[in-house]
Every structure is written in structure tokens, then in C-alpha cells.
């Protein structure tokens, strides 16, 4: 199959590289010239484990190419995937579909024969109808089917997720489009990965329902963590105790600083907007969004409280002014360089508001972080970040932070305070090393 992937970001580049690895002929298009230039030189514009080797192997095999020129790659393609961004629209929280529609217009101008246009971007219910209307209006001469095929990969584990997905969802009523999609995903079909064929609107909604459900699970356990702190229980045991029940499942039950990233925040908001537009409110998701927003700010207060306690003072920001805090991990999760809506942004802001100097280290996210948090002092590793700090805060659970040399860390610090927002340490071990330890829900 000849596939064109429009948008070569976290989803487009991984999907394109994986499709080429299945044996398809793939062209990844992006209008960001710097991205395409980098890819042509074998440099990855994002950090995703294993992606550089996958891309290199398929470029070498002649199955994967990169271009900024959309038109020639669309002409003659069996399928054109739209994998551009759908961020929150400024001001109202609706999904901003301007990139999707701009790509659609470009496709309309470029198609030369029957093809299948696939929305892989996360798009609200009804977007496929609008994409189809644009194509029909601009190109009544050409038979183009529009399919919804949402992507469920996770950054940091994207290649594995793409190649061994829990399921593939394909929304279309068009038999020819269905055959094309079947041919594209055949290598996975053979591996017995379930493919769910459904209507286009249903497929669009499945993606939002999945993300809203996962965001709800995280937010639920975060509230239970607060309750654990209040009553003297341990949230990790509660998670295990409920997660071992197959009806509940153990995943997404790790208490922490609140969900962030490039998907959950914007997708929960967009779902609320769809629900509002259709007069069918989703009150659970509304509560999830509210609770998660306030949680990120609460994490800043948690750090201030830890500083206050170390000071023997009140858990207010008064005693904290002029102190230094080291943040370990800035990206929204490990194994990515993605800083979009990361909890670290809200935490760093509330610390800065309280007059605290912030030092930081992240294994892969510092370049992206610098643009968003220019006032932080960026360090080469965890120990340099801890130098002179009154508290070290683990914000993202990178492997590099799981087995820190606590003696060395303490030796570098002004005061031995460890705030573990990911619950990756055991209290006894940290306290035995002479630290004052604050965790989440324990
Ligand atoms: P991204 O910002 O990393 O990549 C989007 C790319 O599209 C950018 O490189 C941009 O330059 C390019 N682009 C925009 N308009 C273009 C055009 N007209 N022609 C060519 N290129 C164009 O975004 P992403 O994280 O890959 O997300 C893409 C979509 O996938 C979003 O809808 C997102 O919600 C969804 N999604 C993302 C993830 C994830 O983990 N990032 C997971 C599942 C689904």
C-alpha cells in the first residue's frame, strides 16, 4: 500500500515508521521544514525510544521518506492519513480543528484519483462528516472515502503500542475503504490484534471516551490518596487492593500530581464541549477536569508545606521565600520529551510565585522545558540540581531517579527534604538516610 502521513509529530512519525516497517511505502509530510530537514539527516525531532533505529532501517530499505511537499505524495496514495495536532482552542476548550481542515483543503487540491482519507488525529464527533463535505465540495470529480482511525499509542512506549495494540478502531460504512484499511493493518490482523469496525461517529467518540475514562481513573485514585493522607491509610495498598479485582484492573491507579500531557487535558475539555453542544452533559468528566486542575496547584502547596515543616514553621509560603527547590523530571511522563500540559509547569509556577528559586533536571525534556520555563536553573543531573537545595521534588518518575544515591543527594543539599510526587521511594529507606520524606497518599 502507498500511504501518505500528513503531520510528522509524535503520532504521525511513529505511525508512518511502523507502517513502513510492516512493508508499506510511506511518505511522511510536515510543513515544519526544520523537522523534515532533521529527519532527512537521520535526526529525530522528538525523543521516543527505538524510533531512530526504526526510521533508519526503513529509510535504508527505501520504504520511508520525508517531504514538505504534500501534493506529489498525495497523488497516487492508496490512503492519506491526517495526523496533525488538535490542541485546545484558545479561550473555549473546543478542539482546534484548523490544522485538520487546512490539511483537508490541501488534500482536496492534490488528489488525482480515488483514495481513502483517514483521520488519525483525535477529532470530535462529526469531524469526519465535515472533512468529507470539504472533499466533496472541492473535488466532486473524485471518489474519496473518509475513515476515522483514532490512535491509542502512549508516548514513551509508542512503537510497542502501535505494533501490538490492544485494539484497532476503524470507523467507516464504505466497503472499499474498509478493504484498504484491512490491507494496511493486515500484519496486525495476522497477529490476532482485535480490529473493531464501527460507524465513523462512534469511532470518533471511542477515542474521547477512552481518554476520559483513563483520566477519571487517575483522578479517582488521586482523591483516594488525599483521603488516605487524612485517615492514615496507604494509597499504594489501596490501589493494589482494588486493582487486583479484574473488574477494576491495576493500570492507571497510581496516585500522583495529576494527569497532564498532550492528550488527557485537551481531550477531556473537548469532550465536555461536545457534550454541551449536543445538550447531553457529562458531569463525571466535568468533575474530573475540575479536580485535576486544582490538584496541580495543590502539589505546589504540598512542596511549600514540606519546606515549612523542615523549617519548623507554618506550612505557608512565608517561610519559603528565598529558598531553593530542585525539581527532578519536567516532562509529563518518563521516556518522552513532551512538555505539553506537564504538571511540572503548574508546580514550577506556584513555587516561583512563592519566591522560591527553582533548579531542575530532566533526562530528555530540558530543551522543550527551557522555552516554557525560562527562569529555571537547568542542571546536568539530579545531584547538580540538588546542590544547595532546601528540598528535592520528584515530579516525573524517570528510571534515573529510582535509585538515587541518597547520601550523595543529602550531602549536596542545604536541608534533607524529599518530596516524592510519584511514590517511587520507600519511606523507611529515605528516613533512614536522614531525610524528611513527603509522598502522595501514604
Ligand atoms: P504534534 O504536534 O507532535 O504533531 C503534529 C504535526 O503536524 C506537527 O509537526 C505540525 O507541523 C504538523 N502539521 C500541522 N499541519 C500540517 C499540514 N497542513 N501539513 C503538514 N503537516 C502539518 O502532534 P501529535 O502529538 O502527534 O498529535 C497529533 C494528533 O494525534 C492529535 O490529534 C493528538 O490528539 C492525537 N494523539 C496524540 C497522541 C500522543 O501521545 N501525542 C496519542 C494519540 C493521539
pLDDT in tens, 90-103: 889 999 999 999 99
pLDDT at 90: 87
Q: Please tell me the distance from the alpha carbon of residue 97 to that of residue 112, in angstroms, as a whole number.
A: 25
pLDDT tens-place string over residues 342-370: 999 999 999 999 999 999 999 999 999 99
Q: What is the pTM of this model?
A: 0.96
Give the C-alpha distances (Å, rounded to integers) separating 17 from 26, 42, 275, 317: 8, 13, 35, 49
pLDDT band for 192, please (50, 70, 90 cuts): confident
2-198, which class in CATH? alpha beta
pLDDT tens readout for residues 299-322: 999 999 999 876 655 545 457 889
Residues lining ligand 1, judged by CB closer than 6 Å?
6-12, 29-32, 35, 70, 83-86, 99, 102-103, 106, 121-122, 151, 153, 155, 262-263
Residue nearest to atom 38 of ligand 1 (CA): 11
Residue 302 in 3-state DSSP?
A: helix
Give catalytic status of residue 228 as yes or no. Answer: no
| Fold topology of 290-438 | Rossmann fold (3.40.50)
Determine which helix (DSSP H) or strand (DSSP E) holds 271, and give its type and residue range. helix 264-277
Q: How far apart are the CA of 298 and the centre of ligand 1, in A?
A: 31
Do the first three CATH levels of 2-198 and 290-438 match, i.e. the same topology?
A: yes
Question: Domain 208-286, CATH 3.30.230.70 — does that match?
Answer: no
> How much is the pLDDT for 318?
57
429 has pLDDT over 90: yes
CA distance 83 to 261: 17
Q: How much is the pLDDT for 311?
A: 61
Q: What are the boundaries of each domain within the chain?
A: 2-198, 208-286, 290-438
What is the mean pLDDT of the segment spanning 257-276? 97
| Nearest by Cα to 33 from 67, 84, 77, 74 | 67
What are the two backbone dihedrals, phi and then psi, of residue 4, each rounded to the nearest 5 degrees? Answer: -115, 130
Question: How many A from CA of 121 to the centre of ligand 1?
Answer: 7
Amino acid at each position: 500500500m502507498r500511504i501518505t502521513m500528513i503531520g510528522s509529530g509524535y503520532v504521525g512519525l511513529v505511525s508512518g515508521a511502523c507502517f513502513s516497517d510492516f512493508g508499506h511505502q510511506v511518505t511522511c509530510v510536515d510543513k515544519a521544514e526544520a523537522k523534515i530537514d532533521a529527519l532527512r539527516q537521520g535526526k529525530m525531532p522528538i525523543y521516543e525510544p527505538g524510533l531512530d533505529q526504526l526510521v533508519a532501517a526503513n529509510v535504508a530499505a527505501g520504504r520511508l521518506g520525508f517531504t514538505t511537499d504534500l501534493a506529489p505524495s498525495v497523488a497516487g496514495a492508496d490512503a492519506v492519513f491526517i495526523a496533525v495536532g488538535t490542541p485546545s482552542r484558545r479561550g473555549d476548550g473546543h478542539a482546534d480543528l484548523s490544522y485538520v481542515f487546512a490539511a483537508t483543503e490541501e488534500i482536496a487540491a492534490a488528489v488525482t484519483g480515488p483514495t481513502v482519507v483517514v483521520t488519525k488525529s483525535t477529532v470530535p464527533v462529526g469531524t469526519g462528516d465535515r472533512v468529507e463535505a470539504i472533499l466533496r465540495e472541492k473535488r466532486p470529480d473524485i471518489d474519496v472515502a473518509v475513515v476515522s482511525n483514532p490512535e491509542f499509542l502512549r508516548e514513551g512506549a509508542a512503537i510497542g503500542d502501535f505494533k501490538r495494540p490492544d485494539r484497532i478502531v476503524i470507523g467507516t460504512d464504505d466497503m472499499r475503504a474498509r478493504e484498504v484499511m484491512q490491507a494496511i493493518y493486515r500484519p496486525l490482523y495476522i497477529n490476532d490484534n482485535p480490529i473493531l469496525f464501527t460507524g465513523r461517529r462512534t469511532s470518533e467518540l471511542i477515542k474521547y471516551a477512552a481518554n476520559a475514562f483513563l483520566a477519571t481513573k487517575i483522578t479517582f485514585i488521586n482523591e483516594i490518596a488525599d483521603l488516605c493522607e487524612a485517615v492514615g491509610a496507604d494509597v499504594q495498598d489501596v490501589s493494589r487492593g482494588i486493582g487486583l479485582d479484574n473488574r477494576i484492573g491495576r493500570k492507571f491507579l497510581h496516585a500522583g500530581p495529576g494527569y497532564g500531557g498532550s492528550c488527557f487535558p485537551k481531550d477531556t475539555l473537548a469532550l465536555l464541549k461536545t457534550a454541551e453542544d449536543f445538550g447531553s452533559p457529562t458531569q463525571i468528566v466535568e468533575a474530573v477536569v475540575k479536580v485535576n486542575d486544582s490538584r496541580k496547584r495543590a502539589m505546589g502547596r504540598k512542596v511549600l508545606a514540606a519546606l515549612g515543616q523542615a523549617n519548623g514553621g507554618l506550612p505557608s509560603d512565608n517561610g519559603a521565600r528565598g529558598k531553593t527547590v530542585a525539581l527532578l523530571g519536567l516532562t509529563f511522563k518518563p521516556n518522552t520529551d513532551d512538555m505539553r500540559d506537564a504538571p511540572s509547569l503548574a508546580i514550577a509556577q506556584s513555587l516561583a510565585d512563592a519566591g522560591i528559586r527553582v533548579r531542575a533536571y530532566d533526562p530528555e525534556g530540558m530543551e522543550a522545558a527551557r522555552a516554557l520555563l525560562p527562569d529555571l536553573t537547568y542542571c546536568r543531573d539530579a545531584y547538580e540540581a540538588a546542590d544547595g537545595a532546601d528540598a528535592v521534588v520528584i515530579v516525573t518518575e524517570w528510571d534515573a531517579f529510582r535509585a538515587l544515591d541518597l547520601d550523595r543527594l543529602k550531602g549536596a543539599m542545604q536541608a534533607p527534604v524529599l518530596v516524592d510526587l510519584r511514590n517511587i521511594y520507600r519511606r523507611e529507606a529515605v528516613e533512614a538516610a536522614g531525610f524528611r520524606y513527603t509522598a502522595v497518599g501514604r
